[in-house]
Amino acid sequence: MSELATVSAEIAPYLAMAASSLGTSVLVAAQQRITERTVDAGEGFFRRLLGREADPIGGGTEPVLDVDRATALDGSLARLDDAERRALAEAVAAWLSGPVTARDAAGFLSHLAPHLSGTTINSPTAYGDHSAAIGVVNGTVHLGGGTDTEAAS
């Protein structure tokens, strides 16, 4: 399930953006497609969010979803096996049934945590420019909503 942890951390900010910008009905439909393995690279959920015009979505305080990023995210979803897809779909369903105030990336990841054996997801807070609140980490660290990762040592 390590692939699920990586993919989930990557898609969480974009799911939160979709929930706030486009409404939960879009994500309910996506949850069903994830379970049925109909989310494939090139024809997946994130490409569908962009629509036919493929105009970027987001910006400001939200991550930007453009054609290249959507294609990469759909490719990540396509790599998940059946068990990982079921776990992801269950987490999306639980997240959407929860309070609206918890429909952010951290809220989504908290619903996924029980499906990730040996993985701990924390949401520490740090203040100031370029601040990071990190203890000992063995794995991959995802900071902010960006696409870059830094390997921990």
Tell me what pLDDT residue 40 has.
47
Rounded to 10 degrees, the C-alpha dihedral 77/4/9/152 comes to -130
- Neighbour count for residue 123 (Cβ, 10 Å): 11
Name the token pair of 25. Answer: 């009905």
Rounded to 10 degrees, the C-alpha dihedral 69/64/115/153 comes to 80
In one-letter notation, the amino acid at residue 26 is V
Tell me what pLDDT residue 8 has.
87
- Mean pLDDT per 10-residue section of the chain, whose length is 153 residues: 81 83 72 61 67 73 83 86 85 85 87 71 62 61 55 50
CA R_g for the chain: 15
Tell me what pLDDT residue 41 has.
39
Tell me what pLDDT residue 114 has.
80
Tell me what pLDDT residue 94 has.
86
Please tell me whether the overall predicted TM-score, pTM, comes out greater than 0.85 for this model. Answer: no
Judged by DSSP in three states, 60 sits in coil
**For the chain, what are the domain ranges?**
2-116
| Cβ 87 vs Cβ 81: under 8 Å | no
Distances (CA, A) of 100 to 19, 23, 104: 9, 11, 9
